[in-house]
Structure 1
Amino acid sequence: MNVTEVPAIAGAYLFEPAPHADERGFFARTFDREVVRSVGIDPDGFVQDSLSRSALGVLRGMHLRSGAGEAKLVRCSAGEVFDVVVDLRPDSPTYLNKEYFELSGQTQVTLYVPAGCAHGFQALTDPADVSYRIDRPHDPAEDVTISWADPELAIPWPLPVSMMSERDRQAPSLADVLDRLRREFVTAEVSP
């Protein structure tokens, strides 16, 4: 398994497996604790695995969590997605940078998204299955969503959006979310 640092997002990595292919198809190791540990990520820190299935053109995002945030390993296990990460960590050297990836069931590449980064994707196939491995139990009270169409982000979504959740459709602007996160951070620092 090869590991590649993502220069535009500090602390993000791509884990590229070496599939073994034959007439039956392929076999690929998609998680290796020692490889994950080699780049400073605690492999035992992940507590939940989830899977989403999306139809062609479905958009999910842009999502992040408030509080301590949420680091995740993301992999398209079947189909293909256009994947987006935006660094929203104020102390990061890549603050407000964004990066785009095409994740595919053909390659089984896994993307590590550090806590404090917004993440979203659009399905490029019908269906597209995306697996998530997260480092904290999900708490809906900490869910934060940023408008997928925010002009400041100007994400070049490759397809017309066929469907999205009502939460994603009604999401606030990046500026509003950054203001909310700053207020929460100040409140957390002041609290005893």
Structure 2
Amino acid sequence: MLIEATELADVLVLTPQPFRDGRGLFTRTFDAAEFDAHLGVPGLSATFVQDSQSRSYRGVVRGMHGRAGRGEAKLVRCAHGSVHDVLVDIRPESRTFGYQQSFLLDDNDFRHLYVPPGFLHGFQALSPVADVCYRIDRPHVPGEDLGVAFDDPDLGVPWPQPVTVVSDRDADARSWRQLLETLRIEHEGPVRHFRPRS
């Protein structure tokens, strides 16, 4: 498994190395020993306690979601189809606070993201059907949910396709400025963008 840093501080891209032959392919989608060794934190992979999966249809946007308190770490991958995945760093002490970066996740490269606590996350389905799998290090606590509107102008996410469907929760989400006020973070201006990773 290839593990690479991204422009966003502490975010990693994990790319499996599938074995392909006339039958199709076989790949190891996650290796705890390699992951822990790369981060230099023995046992970190054992902190993941919940696996979830979503299915979305082309154009659907899910996001932008985050978590208050100590946040949550997660591994995100697209098991079927493809998605335009977006992260925004909301950690005030981070050197990349207020930056966003997008990634193509699909069922061809099986690339997935390690997202540490302190990020907004969202994606848009690019294929007719997209199944996204999440491995999360904390049980869900609804009262800690954070969100910013997917179309907030200060967030400025460049969704690659027309947005077809969002949940009521995402349609009613707060603005980037309201999130900063809630978190008591002083920051001027819109979110800045790193180049997309494909």
TM-score by length of 2: 0.90
**Separation of aligned partners in 1, 2:93 and 2:38:** 20
Counterpart residue type for residue 121 of structure 1: F
1:119 aligns with 2:118: no
TM-score (norm. length: structure 1):
0.92
Q: For residues 100-139 of structure 1, what are the structure 2 equivalents within 5 Å?
A: 100-139=102-141
Note if 1:3 corresponds to 2:17. no
1:27-85 CA-to-partner distances (Å, cap 9, x unmatched) read 11111001110232511110000000000000000000001101110000000000000
Structure 1 alignment gaps of length 5 or more: 184-192
Letter in 1 for 2:124: Q
Displacement, 1:182? 2.2
- Which residue number in structure 2 is paired with residue 187 of structure 1? none
In structure 2, what is the equivalent of residue 155 of structure 1?
A: 157
Query: How many residues align structurally?
Result: 182
Once the two structures are TM-superposed, the CA of residue 178 in structure 1 deviates from its matched residue by: 1.4
Distance 1:182 1:29 in 2: 42
Measured in 2, the distance between the counterparts of 1:178 and 1:22 equals 50
Which stretches in structure 2 are left out of the alignment for 5+ residues? 186-198
For 2:190, the equivalent position in structure 1 comes to none
Structure 1 position 2, deviation (Å): 0.5
Q: Whole-Å Cα distance in 2 between the matches of residues 20 and 39 of structure 1?
A: 22
Q: Structure 1 CA distance, aligned partners of 2:173 and 2:150?
A: 8
Distance (Å, rounded) in 2 between the aligned partners of 1:39 and 1:115: 18
Query: How much identity, in percent, do the aligned residues show?
Result: 48
Match of 2:142 in 1: 140
> In the aligned structure 1, how far is the partner of 2:98 from the partner of 2:143?
24
Q: Deviations over 1:106-143 (max 9, x none)?
A: 11111011101000000001110000000101111111
2:18 maps to 19
Aligned ranges 1:45-124 → 2 under 5 Å: 45-124=47-126
* Alignment partner, residue 37 of structure 1: 36
What per-residue deviation string (whole Å, max 9, x for no partner) do you get for residues 88-117 of structure 1?
A: 000001101110101001111110111010
Q: What is the one-letter code of the residue matched to 1:161?
A: V
Secondary structure of the residue aligned to 2:52 is: strand
Q: Which amino acid in structure 2 is aligned with residue 43 of structure 1?
A: S
Q: Secondary structure at the match of 1:182?
A: coil
